[in-house]
Amino acid sequence: MFGNVMLATLLLALPVCLRFPFIGFLLYCWFDLAAPHVVFWNSLEFLPLAQLIGVATLAGVFVYWRGPRMINAFTVLLLMYVVWFTITYFQAFVPDAAHFKWDRSMKVFVPLAIMSMMLTTRARIELVMWMLVGVITASAIRGAALTLIWGGGGLVVIGPLGSFIEDRNVFATVMVMAIPLAIYLGAHSLHRPKAGIGRLIAIVVPLLILVAVVGTFSRGGLLALAAVGLTAVAFSRHKFVIAVTVVIAAVALIRFAPESWIERMGTTAEYKADASAMGRIKSWTFAVNLVREHPLGGGFAVFHLNHVEDAVGTEGYLDAHSWFFEILAEQGIPGIVLVLAIFLGALYRLYRVMRLSRASPELKWAGSLARTLFLAQCAMMSGGFFVGIGSYSFTYLVSMCAFSLYVIVRKPTAVAIGEPVESAEGDTAVPLASGGDAAPRRPRRDRRGRAVALEQAPGSRARA
C-alpha cells in the first residue's frame, strides 16, 4: 500500500519536472545518488523511475525552458569526455561488462552537462548543495545512531542499500564532502531557514556526519577529513582559530572513538601487512602496466581482467579502488587528462574567485561559497583516490558548481554593480549583488525612448 502511494506521488511529480526542468534535475540527481525507490520501496526496484524523471526533465528543457543557458568550460570538457569514453567503449577489452557501465555513465554525464547550462545563479548552485547535503544527512543520521548505540562493536556503517553510495568507503567520502557544504548552507545560504535553525544545521549536521564517518571504519574517510582540515587552515582568513578548532576536533575524535576504530586506522602506515591495502596497490600496478601497453585505455570494465584468487581458490577480479587509476586504465591518457582538467580547473577557478572576493566586499558571498566548494572538492579528490568513483554523479557535482560560480563572478559589469542584462524573453533582469535570481523588469526609458539602467552602484555615473 505504501509503495503504491509513493509511486502515485512520484508519477504526479512528472508534470512538475516537465514544467520546471531544474527541479527535475535535482530530483533525478537524488534518485541517481541515493536510489530511494530501492531503499524504501523494494517493490519499485525494477521500475525505471529515474529514467521517467530524466525523460520528463529533458523534455521540459526543450519545451518550457526559456531562461538563460550558460555553456561554460565544464560543459565542454564533460561532453568531450562523453565522446571519448564512447569511442573507447567500441574498443573495450571486455565488451559485455563495458556496455552496462557505458549505459550507466551516459545516464550520469549527459544530464549533468545539460544541468550545468542551467546553473546560472547563486540560488541554483545552493539548491544543488542542499540536495546533496539533504541526501547525505538523511543517511548519516542513521549511521551516527548505529555508531553511538553499538560503539564500534563489530557493526560497520554503510550507505543506503542498493544505491551508488552503499559501499562504506564511498559513503565516508561523500559524507566528508557534505561537511563544509552543511556549514556554509546553515550560515550563509539564501535558502536557509531562520537564524537559529540555520546555526543548528551548521553545528549538528557536521557532528552527526563526523560520527557516521567513524562508524564506516574507512581509512579513505580519515584521509579526506585530514585533507579538509589542512585545506581549511591554509585558506582561512582566521588561521589560528581554524587550526585550534581542527586540533580540538582531532583530539576529541581520538579520545571518544572506539578502540577498534583506532586499531583500524593504525594499519594505514603498515600497509604491507594489510591485505586490503596490498590489493589496492596490485590494482594500481595493473592500471599503470595496462596504460604503458595501451595508452588509449582498455574501455569500461577493463579491471575485470585483473584476475585474483582468494584463499579457497575462487577466481575473481580486483576493482580499481581509485578514481584516478579507474579512469587511467579505462579511458587511457586522453580520458584522465580531460577529467583532471575538470577537477584541477575547478580548484583553480575557486581559487580565483577567492582572490577576486578579497578586492570586492560585494563579492564576499562568492568568497565564502568558493572556499566551501574548494574544501568539498579536496575531500572528493583525496578520499576518492582510494575508491572507484570515476563514473558517479556526485564526483562531478562540486566541479560543476565551481565552474558556474566562476562564470557568474566573472561576468562583465559583474553581478556586483547590478546593471541590467537582457534576458531571452526581451525583459531586463537585474543581477543581485548576492548572486541570487532577480525578477525580470521592463527597462526604464528616457524622454528619447532610450533604455536606462534600473539600478546603479553607489558613486557610479549615469550613462547617457
Residue with cell 571519448: 84
Q: In the chain, what is the straight-line distance between the N-terminal and C-terminal CA atoms, in Å? A: 67
Residues contacting 170, CB < 8 A, separation 6+ = 159, 164, 387, 389, 392
How many CB atoms sit inside 10 A of residue 361's CB? 10
Spatial separation of the C-alpha atoms in residues 71 and 8, rounded to whole Å: 36
User: Higher model confidence: residue 454 or residue 7?
Assistant: 7
142-192 pLDDT per residue, tens: 888 888 887 655 568 888 887 888 888 999 999 999 999 999 999 888 877
Return d(Cα 169, Cα 120) in angstroms, integer: 33
| pLDDT recorded at residue 193 | 73
Give, for 440, the enclosing helix (H) or strand (E).
Answer: strand 440-441
Hunting for cell 553581478 — which residue is that? 415
**Cβ atoms within 10 Å of 315's Cβ, excluding its own:** 8
Q: What is the rounded average pLDDT for all residues in the chain?
A: 80
Using DSSP's 3-state secondary structure scheme, residue 300 falls into: coil
367-416 tens-digit pLDDT: 999 999 999 999 999 988 988 898 888 899 999 999 999 999 987 443 33
pLDDT in tens, 250-307: 888 777 777 777 777 766 656 555 667 777 888 899 999 999 999 999 999 898 888 7
**Segment (H or E) for 226:** helix 219-235
Write out 383-430 in H/E/C secondary structure.
Answer: HHHHCCCCCCCHHHHHHHHHHHHHHHHCCCCCHHHCCCEECCCCCEEC
Burial of 171 (0-12, 13-18, 19+ CB in 10 A): buried
**Cβ density class 260-296: b for 16+ within 10 Å, e for less:** ebeebbeeeeeeeeeeebeebeebbebbeebbeebee
